[in-house]
Every structure is written in structure tokens, then in C-alpha cells.
Structure 1
Amino acid sequence: MDYIAIIGDGFSVGSKGSGGDPDAWPSLIRPLLQRQGHVIQANTSAASTYGYIPRGPEGRKFHDIAPRVVGKNTDVVVLFGASRDKTMLPDGARLASLVSLTMQRVQHIAPDARLLVIGPAVMGPQPPDDVMQVRDIVREQALAYGATFVDPLAEGWFTSQELANDKGRPNPAGQILLAEKIAPLIAEQLAGAPAPPS
């Protein structure tokens, strides 16, 4: 059994607005990983109001969520998102410190876990400049902590609006695309994870 922790924003929720929805990518990756020989248990916390900085009264910071889903036995931690964290700009130093705090907390809880940082992601072929700035800050911090950083903006994951729902988040086809892209990334992290104690 491989243990995965997923913390995400609105791109990680399905039709019910939860990261645990059966049509959201955190659920859809299970059969894809099983085909590659990985039986996973995934603890997920995601919502459209989550980010390295919370949004609104229902918002939560990623670093506050981490202790809920990450444990000492976690093999891979996935952090996905941050597009709404552009509201912190132009205070990039403050954002960088909150991103750093998140990764520090994850490493404190699960020092042997691999850290996969994805995002931010937005719909459309032309990401706004402020989202690109957020991307640069998150990437810099991820690399500083030895994480694997994946850039949906540069890779053009969501250049087609056909993958968006009416709230500007991935529709069912978009969630399938995310699962197909993220499952191999998690498998790569698991392949490099330390073997469990005998």
C-alpha cells in the first residue's frame, strides 16, 4: 500500500466541490496507478477557497491543512494550485514565505515523503501575468525544498476552454485529463520513494 496526501485548490474538486469527489482527479488516479502496480490510500483536502493564502471566510491555508492529511507514513505529498494567491501580490515576499512554510511543515511531518508541487493552473491559452508571477514564486520555493515542480501553464494543460465548467474549473473531461497527467507523476515519485521498513 502506498500512502498519498493531496492538498489542492478548485482544480482538485469535482461536481460536489470536494477533493474526495468520485469525478475529481484525486479519485480518478486510483485505477490508473493500480494498473502500474500501485495500490494507494489517498488522503485529500481540496476546495476552491484553499491556497497558500486562504480566500474568504471558508478559506484554509495549505500549511494548516497539511497536518490533517499528511502522516509519518506518507510516501508522496501533492500540492496543487495557487492561482487565486495572486491576491497577495505585489507582496511576493509574503507569498514566498507562506509557500516555504507549507513545504517546511510537510517535511517536518513526513521527512521521508516525496514532494510533488503542481501549479498554479488556469483555463485558457494566455495565463495572466500575476498568475505567472505566482508560478515563479511557487517554483522557486519548491526547488529550494528539493521538490519536483510541474508547470501546467508552460505545458499548456488547459489551453482549451472545452475542458472548463461554468465556474472556470475543470469539467469531467478536464478532471480525466488531470488524472491522466498526474498519475504518472505520482508513480515516478513512488518509484523513487524509500522502501518501507521490514
Structure 2
Amino acid sequence: MRITVRVANRGSDSFAAVLPRCLEGWDVAVEGVGSTGYLKAGNDGLGTFQQRIDALSHGDEFQLVILPGGSNDQNVENAGPAEAVGSTVQTLRAHFPSARLLMLGPVSISTNSNANKRYVDQVLREYAAEQRIEFISPLAETWFPTSSQPEWVNIELGHPNTAGYDHMAQKPAEDLREIIVTA
């Protein structure tokens, strides 16, 4: 199975870098840059999710495309996320018409996620339900219980540490196995 993962950066210490190791036997292509969102351009200046997808030349070769959380949109004005999600998904479907789509909600490094992050999760959850797209909510699944912060989180940076990224990648890998088997 060939998957494209659109999340985090290509560094060795990121969710996208770790996920392929958790999906043994899957052919995984990683395409993503840190800080990219539905409304927010990534660190490399190459644009939002939709702009980055428009620039791809992969064609229709993937069986599954994973579109990540929108955590980077949590501080953007609440006007527009639903429209940006819709146009991003339309662009993905145009580039990869036969691929299944999996959307991930935003990740919080504690059980106390902020209202903006919960709002983004709600927008994504509702859109996915309306469009019959598989959706995983790290907030609802409590991927990072507050009690695990010392083990999985670099508090100074406000991001997962190496063990946290490993944990983060294992969670959707478990869900993916179930989704693919039951589909």
C-alpha cells in the first residue's frame, strides 16, 4: 500500500518521519513541512496544504492519503476554516481521485486543549462526517494525557519529544490497521 503523509517536517524527529516505521510493509511517501495548515503557510514559504497539494506532480498513485490536524490553524481567525478544509479536500480528490482519505484532528500535548484547537477539531470532525471521510481525533482519543507529559513532551518547546513523536505515530498506525481491515 502506498500512503502520502502530509504532516510535520521531514526532519528525523517528527511524526511524519516516524509513522513509516510504524506501518511495516506499507510503502509510505512523506510530503510535509512544519507549521503548514489549512489556512497557514508552512515554514518553507511554499504555502498552505492546498497550495502544496496543487504543486504536487504525483498523479493518481496513492491508495490512501492522510491529511493532518490543523493544529497550525488554531490561532488563525475562526472565519474560514470550513471553507479552507473543503477546498483542500477538493484539491486532494482532484489529484488523487481513487485514494481513500483519512483526516486527523489537531494534537494537544496535554488533556487541557485550548478552545481554538477544540474548534478546529470540531470543524474537521463535522466536515469529515458530512463527506464520509475517515476521521481520527487525537483530542477525543487523548493521545497525550497530562500525566505523560514528562515522558513524551518537551515542555520548553511545547512539542512532543522523540518518544512523543514515536507515541504520536503509533496511535494512528493502530487506527489505520483497523480502518483498512474493516473497510
Kindly tell me: are residues 140 and 27 of structure 1, through their superposed partners in 2, closer, same or farther at Cα, counting changes over 3 Å?
A: same
Question: What is the identity, as a one-letter code, of the residue corresponding to 1:141?
Answer: Y
Shift of 1:146: 2.0
Pairing partner for 2:82 from 84, 96, 106: 96
Shift of 1:191: 4.2
SS of structure 1 residue aligned to 2:75: helix
Shift of 1:189: 4.7
Question: What is the identity, as a one-letter code, of the residue corresponding to 2:52?
Answer: I
Answer whether contact 1:45 1:69 (CA < 8 A) is retained. Answer: no
Answer whether contact 1:6 1:26 (CA < 8 A) is retained. Answer: yes
In structure 1, the gaps of 5 or more residues are 13-17, 194-198
Answer whether contact 1:76 1:186 (CA < 8 A) is retained. Answer: no
Kindly tell me: are residues 125 and 41 of structure 1, through their superposed partners in 2, closer, same or farther at Cα, counting changes over 3 Å?
A: closer
Runs of 4+, deviation exceeding 6 Å = none
Q: What's the Cα RMSD here?
A: 2.3
- The more displaced of 158-167 and 105-114 is 158-167
Aligned to 1:148: 134
Answer whether contact 1:51 1:84 (CA < 8 A) is retained. Answer: yes
Aligned to 2:2: 3
Question: What is the identity, as a one-letter code, of the residue corresponding to 2:118?
Answer: M
1:65-80 paired onto structure 2 within 5 Å: 65-67=52-54, 68=56, 71-80=59-68
SS of structure 1 residue aligned to 2:145: coil
1:8-47 paired onto structure 2 within 5 Å: 8=7, 12=8, 18=9, 20-34=10-24, 38-47=25-34
Aligned to 1:131: 117
Kindly tell me: are residues 97 and 172 of structure 1, through their superposed partners in 2, closer, same or farther at Cα, counting changes over 3 Å?
A: same
Mapped to 2, the partners of 1:109 and 1:157 lie a distance apart of 31
Answer whether contact 2:109 2:153 (CA < 8 A) is retained. Answer: yes
Answer whether contact 2:53 2:91 (CA < 8 A) is retained. Answer: yes
In structure 2, the gaps of 5 or more residues are none
> What's the % identity of the aligned pairs?
28
Shift of 1:168: 1.0
Is 1:175 matched with 2:165?
A: yes
Aligned to 2:74: 86
Aligned length: 177
Shift of 1:42: 1.4
Mapped to 2, the partners of 1:81 and 1:39 lie a distance apart of 22
TM-score, normalised relative to structure 1? 0.78
Mapped to 2, the partners of 1:31 and 1:130 lie a distance apart of 31
